A and B are shown apart, each in its own frame.
Chain A
Amino acid sequence: MSSIVSRRAREVQPASRARRRHGWIGLAFIGPGLLLFLVAVVYPIFGAVQMSFFHWQILAGAVSEWIGLDNYVQAVRDPLFWSSLLNSGVYMLLTVPPQIVLGLLVAVLLKRASPTQPIFRALFYLPVVTSWVVVSLLFKYLFADQGLINFTLHDFLHLMSQDVSWLSSRWTAMIAICALGVWKGIGWSMMIFLAALQGVPESLEEAATMDGAGRWRRFRVVTLPAIWPSMVFVIVLLVIGGLNVFTSVVVMTNGGPADATQVVLTYMYQQAFKNLDFGYGSAIAVLLAIIVLILSLIQLRVFRDRSEVAS
């Protein structure tokens, strides 16, 4: 170890110079992937953005009329756009914190190696693996007027005085949809946190224990900072995923009753693929993407500052 350390001391200066000199190697590593990404994702993004400035005609070769920002103005003036944005936002706010807290809790509980650990890991991961259409349908039946949730909460546990008609009004339906989102997502964040927790050096945990730190203190001072990059990653991605909710809403309520539970992507889908108004649909999607991008950049900035201060 000492030889490595002394070698390191000798090599620090030249290594950074070597890095800059050999920057083209870095480009070679990112080259193939980046090229594919630019062609198959970024280029189509430009195409989709372009559609939003036209009264877009779907037939290949048809001429579309340029209407500039009209689609965007229409979106801003559209009360359904704003209510769908509110629904997406509420969904995101109600599903992201539970997924993080519960996912982390389960990861911590499953960190220690034991014969039952793989079994539990698989069970918690099952919801992630099952298709959205199928689980949305199941939850629709669970939350039906005569479904299992009402039966459990009202008839069995007596926590409610009467059955709730979950899917018949906006906010109770949103609760049902959010419950599905949390249920399905816990296993996902659990997986990421499990991988992150494997990277926390046991030596640091032992040192903290020797210093007399209790379990919570150990977690806050050692574990959390060590997994902080993964935590940031999970938060950013869950926020993006939350605002992009789609399939569960389509299956459970189809945006109803009377457009009360429309979210941005279901509204976009309706405009693009039912009303065949692709210009407007693209404009809605672009607006959502901009909002999500700004939120993500803000989060990255805020969380990076915190982690730098902490270290």
Chain B
Amino acid sequence: MTRPGEGRRGRASGTVVRYVLLVVGAAIMVVPFLTMLSTSFTGQAYVLTIPPQIIPNPATLDNYAQALGTQDFAGYFLNSAIVSVLATAVAVLLSSMMAYGFARFDFPGKEVMFRLLLLGLVVPAMMLIIPQFVLAKQLGLVDTLAGLVVFYVAGNLAFNTFLLRGFFASLPGELDQAMQVDGANAWTRYWRLAMPLAKPALGTVTIFTFLSCWDEFAWALTLIQTPDKATLPLALSLFQGENSTQWGLVFAGSVIAVIPVIIVFLVFQRSFVQGLTSGAVKG
């Protein structure tokens, strides 16, 4: 659409500037990642040379072969996948319910309970590892994938609820009330109305939660005792040597580990489609 005062040339130069900025920014974002990628194809002798090489010469697939051929690598991958998918699903569900409850209803102690969630954001997770481990032992969750899921969900509740509450609160109340008049109960309003409208926020929350579960190391290290329940970050940590490290191997493992997260990102970022909210309100 044309704007007053902006001719076609003004719009074109604006687009060029926009693209230049984006390309420069994207290049800065990507260069370290490219270094990681290129090092993963490099033999040990040439790793992280100073000054750095971008195109590895000679290139090799040995690192990937070694990483993928590591005993039980598929098992670690599967464990991470199970834990992350389950924890993300439960976390998004529970926190969206909480966010909806805080946004749409009044009840005694509401503000206090909401502030309590702030504690979850403010306290460093490292500090909680030992009390949580003792608790996990009491609940019989030591060395179990369920133990990972339970605590990953709990750890993501505060952030997700804060993010989603703002979204639900900003949704116009008329639609709620319209449905209420039509006889819809609270759960239906939450599930059929609020959730679809909050898709951008839900997409964001899903991406972040999956990433935090997939990459989590300290709790997995503490809880898991047997290798058959280990997750991918634990496997990657074993690629670092006591006296020296094969960085090509570490980076190859990291590249493999990053692929599912990118996939989750690509799948869920499509929910950022504009138009649902404005369409409903305009009517």
Interface residues of A (CB under 8 A from B): 1, 4-5, 7-8, 11, 15, 18-20, 22-30, 32-34, 36-37, 39-48, 51, 60, 102, 105-106, 109-110, 113, 118, 120-132, 134-135, 137-139, 141-142, 144, 146-148, 151, 183, 186-188, 191-192, 194-195, 198-199, 201-203, 209, 212, 229-230, 233, 237, 240, 244, 246, 265, 268-269, 272, 278, 281-282, 285-286, 288-289, 292-293, 296-297
* B107 adjacent to A26 (CB under 8 Å): yes
Residues of A within 8 A of B113 (CB): 30, 34
* Shortest 4 CB-CB contacts between residues of A and residues of B: A26-B105, A29-B101, A47-B131, A40-B154
Write 10 A-B pairs (CB below 8 A) sorted by A numbering: A29-B190, A39-B135, A43-B131, A44-B131, A123-B26, A135-B36, A147-B51, A191-B204, A195-B203, A289-B127
Which secondary structure dominates chain A's binding surface? helix
Least Cβ–Cβ distance between A85 and chain B, in angstroms: 13
B102–A30 contact, CB under 8 A? yes
> Which one of A43, A45, A147 lies within 8 Å of B52 (CB-CB)?
A147
- Which residues of chain B in 14-33 are interfacial with respect to chain A, using CB atoms and an 8 Å cutoff? 18, 21-22, 25-26, 28-30, 32-33
In angstroms, how far is the closest chain B Cβ from the Cβ of A186?
Answer: 7
Q: A29-B105, A41-B128 are in contact. Are A138 and B272 (CB under 8 A)?
A: no
Interchain nearest-CB distance for A175 vs B (Å):
16
Query: Which of A32, A47, A130, A269 interacts with B36 by CB under 8 Å?
Result: A130
Contact A285 B124 (CB under 8 A): yes
Given contacts A24-B107, A106-B25, contact A212 B121 (CB under 8 A): no
> Do A29 and B98 touch across chains, with their CB atoms under 8 A apart?
yes
Residues of A within 8 A of B153 (CB): 36
- A residues within 8 A CB of B278? 201-203
Complex CA–CA separation, A183 to B29 (angstroms): 7
Looking across the interface, which residue of chain B has its beta carbon closest to that of A30?
Answer: B101
Taking a contact as CB atoms closer than 8 A, the residue among A33, A212, A237 that contacts B97 in the complex is: A33
**One of A5, A29, A51, A191 near B100 (C-beta < 8 A):** A29
Q: A155 to chain B: closest CB distance in Å?
A: 9
A233 surroundings in chain B (CB, below 8 A): 162-163, 166
B245-280: which have CB < 8 Å to A? Answer: 247, 250-251, 254, 257-258, 261-262, 265-266, 269-270, 272-274, 277-278
- A22-B105, A195-B201 as given contacts; A125 in contact with B274, CB under 8 Å: no
How far is it, in angstroms, between the C-alpha of A188 and the C-alpha of B247 when the chains are bound?
27
CB-based contact A51/B130 at 8 Å: yes
User: Are the CB atoms of A195 and B204 closer together than 8 Å?
Assistant: yes
Residues on B lying within 8 angstroms of A by beta carbon are 3-4, 18, 21-22, 25-26, 28-30, 32-33, 35-36, 48, 50-52, 94-95, 97-98, 100-102, 104-108, 110, 113, 116-124, 126-128, 130-132, 134-135, 150-151, 153-155, 157-159, 161-163, 166-167, 169-170, 174, 177-178, 180-181, 186, 190, 200-201, 203-204, 207-208, 211, 215, 233, 236, 247, 250-251, 254, 257-258, 261-262, 265-266, 269-270, 272-274, 277-278, 281-283
B132 engages A134 (CB within 8 Å): no
**In the assembly, what is the distance between CA of A311 and CA of B200, in Å?**
24
Q: Could you tell me if A139 and B126 are in contact, using CB atoms closer than 8 angstroms?
A: no
* Bound Cα distance from A27 to B114, whole angstroms: 12
Are the CB atoms of A40 and B33 closer together than 8 Å?
Answer: no
User: CB within 8 A of B107: which of A27, A105, A191?
Assistant: A27
Residues on A with beta carbons closer than 8 Å to the beta carbon of B270:
118
For B126, the chain A residues whose CB sits under 8 A away are 246, 265, 268-269, 272, 285
| A147–B29 alpha-carbon span in the complex (Å) | 17
- Our pick among A15, A28, A127 for the contact of B32 (Cβ within 8 Å) is A127
Q: Tell whether, in the assembled complex, residue B130 and residue A125 are in contact, meaning their CB atoms are under 8 Å apart.
A: no
Residue of B nearest to A8 (CB): B174
Closest to B95 in A: A33
Contacts A23-B107, A23-B108, A282-B127: A7 and B101 contacting too (C-beta < 8 A)? no
**Smallest CB separation, A11 vs chain B (Å):** 5
Q: How far is the CA of A39 from the CA of B104 in the complex (A)?
A: 25
B131: A residues at CB distance < 8 A:
43-48, 51
Closest A residue to B269 by CB, please name it. A121
Most chain B CB within 10 A, of A48, A51, A122, A192, is at A48
Q: How far is the CB of B212 from chain A (nearest CB, A)?
A: 11
Cα separation A305 to B154 with both chains bound (whole Å): 31
Can you name the residue of chain A whose Cβ is closest to the Cβ of B35? Answer: A138
- Measured CB to CB, the closest approach of chain B to A1, in angstroms, equals 4
